[in-house]
Structure 1
Amino acid sequence: MDRRYIELERRPELNRPVLIAGFTGWNDAAEAASLAVDTLREEWGAEQFGAFVGEEFFDYQSVRPQIKLIEGVTRTVEWPENALYATSGGVQALGGRDAVLISGPEPNFRWRAFCQGVVDLGRELDASLVLTMGALLADVPHSRPVSVAANAQDPSLVENLKLSASRYEGPTGVTGVLHRYVAEAGLPAVSFWASVPHYLPSVPSAPAALGLLQNLQNLVGGRLDTSHLERTSEDYQRQVAAAVSQDSDLVSYVQMLEERYDAQTDGGTRDLPSGDELASELEQFLREKGDEEQ
């Protein structure tokens, strides 16, 4: 493992850990992936044992350091980093295996070096599985179950989980690159992608985070305590439904998405349009509505 890129405060004692990664930024629509990883870190009591060297991977003008006050007096600087967390003593939900979590902003630089660092870390820690989580904006309504697509080396794994295989083609972020790097390195790798409504891009989506964790639970065969996210998801649905109901055009648009979702659910794999296509479709719909009202 290249120590230029990773700093370890200690080397944790781990039992065949599952390495789980999720990043804020482009791969994290509605903060679903980062919320899912943060939920695991808190539930499992994972503690930080290292980090990727921020100087090697971040443009501090794009991802700026933060000034924090300690007890209202002392100022300190918190630098962007991709932190490494680990459990100890095994996690019941993982069948007694441990977990290593990687979280933080999507790196600006040296993606190949970053991904190779994750591969090297996985090998050094004897990882039994590398799971990446992401979320993307899609033409899905908030009022239907969250769609989660999967990528895996073994297509039968996706089929057994009753997930749709991702058929996305187009620009990708570090999450997509990392999954391919890990898979091509021969480590067991799975990637989960939650779809969130494109008309709610900046509203943190507890339902999407919950969907990711439920699929993690199905994958590892354990039981996760997601009760907090379930309550938060119920609040999310109520608040979004109330907000949408205030806009008649949006109500009609969501109804159209619901009809399309219901028709496609029985048809298997769904092709996800690009963000530009979604924006164009919404603009056309609103223009047509405006013409009808004149």
Structure 2
Amino acid sequence: MQTGSGRERRRHDARGLVDVLPGERPAAPVLLLALDGFVDAGSAVRLLRDAALADGGGRVLAEFDVDQLVDYRYRRPLLTFERDRWTALALPRLDLLVVADEAGQEFLLLTGPEPDVQWQRFVSAVELVVRELGVRLVVGLDAVPLAVPHTRQLGVTVHSSEESVRAGQAPWFEQALVPGSAAHVLEYLLAERGIPTAGLAVHVPQYLAQADYPAASLRLAEVLEHVTGLRLPTGPLAEAAALVADRVAAEAGASAEIQEMIAGLEQQYDRFVLARATDGSLPSGDELGAEVERYLAEQARKDE
């Protein structure tokens, strides 16, 4: 069991991981977690993050020391070689940005690679920054693959340490055991330390999880606005989603096998929604864990 003084030593030591830069700070902002490296089915989080940064890229408010957090042998940085010399090096960055939504409301966005090591120290470093900046809510963004049809509204699992965020949000699973991520650990431990946290996980059809699926980003943005009031720019995402929908419809229309699969998923999904609405029965979450494990295995094979 770690004593209070031990926790304080760890938090003090965590100051060596992050550097808060001088400059204007937003008042009581929301912090969105949009790290690379874990489950992002349909690239929904990445697409939404890119949309949020499209107009200016945001202003760096804090920099994390990636040399202490990233395993370069696992995430080897890319260098550009031209004829007879190196001309560029793309080192990773883990930054806290100040970004404005469509209404001009400023929020914070944590971007960069998921830390490979020192997760608890990383959490303590984020905690220091969160307390210093007066963050009112930390929100993790996720996109998980599930056996759901694209022809129904995409579900979003909303979870939070705050009753006000959970209110009116019907759960999708009774219990699930899934692989953790640095962002999930961050969300859990910050809540344990009294900092309000929440998480949004959009459900992406597993047969579309390996390609960009902007419809999932749109759904994530919709629920994010409901929970936080933030209005992220979604115009380009809507256009891209329409193009993808046309391609998926064309491919499905050309294959009786795909049509049969989708029809089966629709029936399964409709039965689940009906049972959820009438008697509140929920699945155990084993399916979610299995789908996430399969997705991670596919990503690992692609990386190799």
**TM-score for both structures, normalised by structure 2:** 0.79
**TM-score for both structures, normalised by structure 1:** 0.82
Residue 252 of structure 1 corresponds to which residue in structure 2? 260
Matched-pair identity in %: 25
Deviation at 1:69, TM superposition (A): 7.9
Question: Do the aligned partners of 2:80 and 2:88 also contact (CA within 8 Å) in 1?
Answer: yes
Residue 42 of structure 2 corresponds to which residue in structure 1? 30
Residue 261 of structure 1 corresponds to which residue in structure 2? 269
Aligned to 1:84, what secondary structure does the other structure show? strand
Alignment of 1:1-294 (within 5 A): 2-42=14-54, 46-68=58-80, 75-87=87-99, 93=103, 98-160=106-168, 162-164=169-171, 167-221=175-229, 223-268=231-276, 270-271=282-283, 272=285, 273-274=287-288, 276=290
Aligned to 1:146, what secondary structure does the other structure show? coil
Provide, for residues 211-263 of structure 1, a one-character-per-residue CA deviation record: whole Å limited to 9, x for no partner: 11111111123544422212211112111222333443332112111111122
Deviation at 1:103, TM superposition (A): 1.3
Aligned residues: 273
Aligned to 1:171, what secondary structure does the other structure show? coil
Return closer, same or farther for 1:54/1:278 CA change in 2, 3 Å cut-off: closer
Aligned to 2:267, what secondary structure does the other structure show? helix
Return closer, same or farther for 1:130/1:279 CA change in 2, 3 Å cut-off: closer
What do you get for the CA RMSD once the two structures are aligned? 2.8
Provide, for residues 51-76 of structure 1, a one-character-per-residue CA deviation record: whole Å limited to 9, x for no partner: 22111111112212122589xx9722
Partners of 1:141 and 1:26 lie apart in 2 by: 23
Provide, for residues 64-93 of structure 1, a one-character-per-residue CA deviation record: whole Å limited to 9, x for no partner: 2122589xx972211123222113xx7564
Letter of the structure 2 residue corresponding to residue 17 of structure 1 = P
Unmatched runs of 5 consecutive residues or more in structure 2? 1-11, 295-304
Return closer, same or farther for 1:222/1:107 CA change in 2, 3 Å cut-off: closer
Return closer, same or farther for 1:91/1:44 CA change in 2, 3 Å cut-off: farther
Return closer, same or farther for 1:277/1:165 CA change in 2, 3 Å cut-off: closer
Partners of 1:279 and 1:108 lie apart in 2 by: 18
Return closer, same or farther for 1:211/1:233 CA change in 2, 3 Å cut-off: same
Question: Do the aligned partners of 1:150 and 1:164 also contact (CA within 8 Å) in 2?
Answer: yes
Question: Do the aligned partners of 1:139 and 1:278 also contact (CA within 8 Å) in 2?
Answer: no
Partners of 1:123 and 1:197 lie apart in 2 by: 38
Question: Do the aligned partners of 1:149 and 1:165 also contact (CA within 8 Å) in 2?
Answer: yes
Provide, for residues 104-163 of structure 1, a one-character-per-residue CA deviation record: whole Å limited to 9, x for no partner: 222211111112222211111111111110111111112221110011113452233x45
Letter of the structure 1 residue corresponding to residue 264 of structure 2 = M
Deviation at 1:195, TM superposition (A): 1.1
Question: Do the aligned partners of 1:148 and 1:164 also contact (CA within 8 Å) in 2?
Answer: no
Question: Do the aligned partners of 1:148 and 1:192 also contact (CA within 8 Å) in 2?
Answer: yes
Deviating more after overlay: 142-151 vs 2-11: 2-11
Question: Do the aligned partners of 1:6 and 1:52 also contact (CA within 8 Å) in 2?
Answer: yes
Aligned to 2:167, what secondary structure does the other structure show? helix
Aligned to 1:99, what secondary structure does the other structure show? strand
Question: Do the aligned partners of 1:54 and 1:79 also contact (CA within 8 Å) in 2?
Answer: no
Return closer, same or farther for 1:165/1:154 CA change in 2, 3 Å cut-off: farther
Partners of 1:80 and 1:279 lie apart in 2 by: 26
Aligned to 2:111, what secondary structure does the other structure show? strand
Deviation at 1:267, TM superposition (A): 3.1
Partners of 2:36 and 2:252 lie apart in 1 by: 26
Return closer, same or farther for 1:279/1:215 CA change in 2, 3 Å cut-off: closer
Unmatched runs of 5 consecutive residues or more in structure 1? 281-294
